[in-house]
Amino acid sequence: MDGTDSDQLRQHRRWMVAWVAGFLPPRLRRLAVVLALSLLATAAGLVQPMLTKALIDQALPDRRMDLVILLCGGLFAMSVFSLLLGYGTRLLYVRVSGDLLFSLRESLFRHLMSLSPRWFARAREGDLFSRLDGDITEVQRFTLDGALAAINATFALIGAVIAMISLSVPLTLMCLAVLPLQMALVARFRPRIEQQTRQVRQRAADLGAFFFDTLPAAKVIQAHSAQERESDRLHRLNGLYLDELLRQERLGFFAGAGPSLIMSAATALIFVFGAASVLGQSLTIGAMVAFTSYLGRAAAPLQSYLGLWVASRRALVSLDRLAELRLVPPEVCSPASPQPLPDPLRGAVSLRQVMLGHDRQRPLLRDLSLEIAAGSKVALIGPSGCGKSTLCDLLLRLYDPDQGEVCLDGVPLPRLDLLALRQVVAVVAQDVVLLPGSLADNIAYGVAHPTREAIEQAAETAGLAEVIAALPHGLDSPVGSHGRLLSGGQRQRVALARAVLQRPRVLILDEVTTGLDPALRDAVLATLDRQFADCTRIIVSHDPQVMAGCDQVVDLEHCAKSGNRFSQQQCGNVRYEISGRHS
């Protein structure tokens, strides 16, 4: 990685840290309570060795049974107190931790929903799920667990060291002498653990992508007798994932084993010198027992630091993977001061020298100019890949053109609020997407707080009355994953009911009759003409029956080839209008 890439990576990490930190202020009060309870429980644990020392050095030699009972009762009370504190701390922590996790995930999801279909076409669904689930959890866990554990460990370590110094300064210095060697070993493993964590995350994402790709395609896999082929591919992916996990475990083991071994050797030496001090009567048995207890309490924070260091490497990798999503800028967004929609809104559409394409050398749309009158019915024709559906996406402002502008009633779309625009422009597509929920939920999708009567009326208008009557729970019947409990024609009618309920001023019909039998096609067309007679309708279709009643038929293939002027052709009672110019 060169200097420029390193600087950019550091800048991205700083931005992401600031993004995560922005979610903490509303939760600081509850986090402070969690921290206070945790520190109180740690303090209670630090008192217990001193009670043990008093029991051994005072109560037993003096044969004071009353003091023995008092000290033992104190030890038991401290244990119960610590247990109750731990229970309360855990409940409060889970609430705060879950709240932070869900807020991070919701924020990232909202950002993803602002990205264009072009970006999603390049992304892998399984990888996205891995980042929204595993990576964001890793970052959230380290943000809270890391901070609380570090503060708690520091408090416990300082308390233990102070108690150890009060008991024996030489033994304490021996313990502290091994810290530099432990830190050197940890630093040696740092880059390798970070790199290996990245590899494990990638293999997990590969597995997620496999399931997201194959499970929805189960019917195709079965039809092609490809079950064994896909099972073999899964076996290979599992093997690669297991290899990376084993490498990660080996690295984690050696990164922790070295410092632990050093601490064990130091502990053994401390016992030797401590025993010599007891025999030389410079240290009491109770003090020796208390010192070894505090040594264990001091070792635990040191192990926590090592664990936090490893966790920080994992969290950093996850933070980088989240940055690859969060730092993607949306292609379109609402203006800071949007212009209101014209009132009344007529629905006239204008395209002025529009150019758009994934490849600027070979754009799908090139210098396209088109005027669609308000309330007219226009057909877009042309071969696959000529930009028909892309033109529809422009009207919804899922993209902005690379050049030129698209206007609604003379107002350029980028000047309008996105939500307001998409309330008055609706799409009924060939591939209807239904979401989990009931039939009523899917009909009302995209309309804020519709009444039950309005939903029922839209369903009846779209010809769903017989379908609803046949369903066990009527409108409240679930549609299944991706609407698989409904037929293709029924899903098409649900999409039509959505449009009826939305009552747009511009309606886009993208191959809406493809795959429908003639009777159903005629019924759908009749419903469209009846319900949206005063609405601007833009129809993408190859079906002559659909084009027969159109005011205009626009051939997008010829748009790129025609001269720089309007040309009109007659075809029966349908007028073709073409506008464009040579590249």
Output the DSSP codes for 378-421. EEEE-STTSSHHHHHHHHTTSS--SEEEEEETTEEGGGB-HHHH
Q: How far apart are CA 381 and CA 554, in angstroms?
A: 6
Amino acid at 574: V
Q: What tokens appear for 292 in the block?
A: 């070894």
| Dihedral angle, C-alpha 275, 278, 282, 283, nearest 10 ° | 90
282, with CB counted inside 10 A (0-12, 13-18, 19+), is exposed
For residue 568, what are the β-bridge partners? Answer: 577
- Identify whether 170 is preceded by a cis peptide bond (ω within 30 of 0): no
pLDDT in single tens digits along all 583 residues of the chain: 555 667 787 888 888 888 998 998 988 888 888 888 888 887 877 777 777 777 787 777 777 888 878 888 888 888 888 888 888 888 888 888 888 889 999 999 999 988 888 888 888 887 888 888 888 988 988 888 888 888 888 888 888 888 888 888 888 787 777 767 766 766 677 677 777 877 887 888 888 888 877 877 776 787 767 888 888 888 898 888 888 888 888 887 777 677 777 777 777 777 777 777 777 777 787 777 787 777 777 777 777 777 777 788 788 888 988 998 999 998 888 898 999 998 889 999 998 888 877 655 666 777 888 899 999 988 888 777 667 778 888 898 988 888 899 999 999 999 999 989 989 998 888 778 888 889 999 999 878 888 999 999 999 888 888 888 988 898 999 988 778 888 888 888 898 898 889 889 999 888 777 766 777 777 777 878 888 888 999 988 777 777 777 888 888 766 544 433 333 333 333 444 434 332 3
Instruction: Please name the helix (run of DSSP H) or strand (run of DSSP E) that holds residue 370, with its range, or none.
Output: strand 365-372
Q: Are strands 425-429 and 411-412 parallel, antiparallel or unpaired?
A: unpaired
Secondary structure of residue 233 in the 3-state scheme? helix
Q: How far apart are CA 132 and CA 175, in angstroms?
A: 43
In this prediction, residue 1 carries a pLDDT of 52
Q: What tokens appear for 403 in the block?
A: 């050049």
Backbone conformation region of residue 397, classed left if phi is above 0, alpha if psi is from -120 to 50, else beta? left
**DSSP structure class, residue 482:** G
Amino acid at 294: Y
CA distances from 442 to 268, 434, 458, 479, 571 (A): 69, 6, 12, 8, 40
Place of tokens 């899903």: 491
Domain chopping of the chain, boundaries? 3-168+283-327, 349-562
In this prediction, residue 559 carries a pLDDT of 54
- Candidate CATH numbers 3.30.420.110, 3.40.50.980, 1.10.3720.10, 1.20.1560.10; the one for domain 3-168+283-327: 1.20.1560.10
For residues 68 and 184, is the Cβ–Cβ distance under 8 A?
Answer: no
Q: Whole-prediction pTM value?
A: 0.73
In this prediction, residue 416 carries a pLDDT of 93
- Candidate CATH numbers 3.40.470.10, 3.40.50.150, 3.40.50.300, 3.40.50.720; the one for domain 349-562: 3.40.50.300
Q: In whole angstroms, how large is the CA radius of gyration of the chain?
A: 35
Q: How far apart are CA 51 and CA 443, in angstroms?
A: 70
Q: How far apart are CA 183 and CA 553, in angstroms?
A: 74
CA distances from 215 to 210, 212, 219, 222 (A): 8, 6, 9, 11
For residues 351 and 387, is the Cβ–Cβ distance under 8 A?
Answer: no
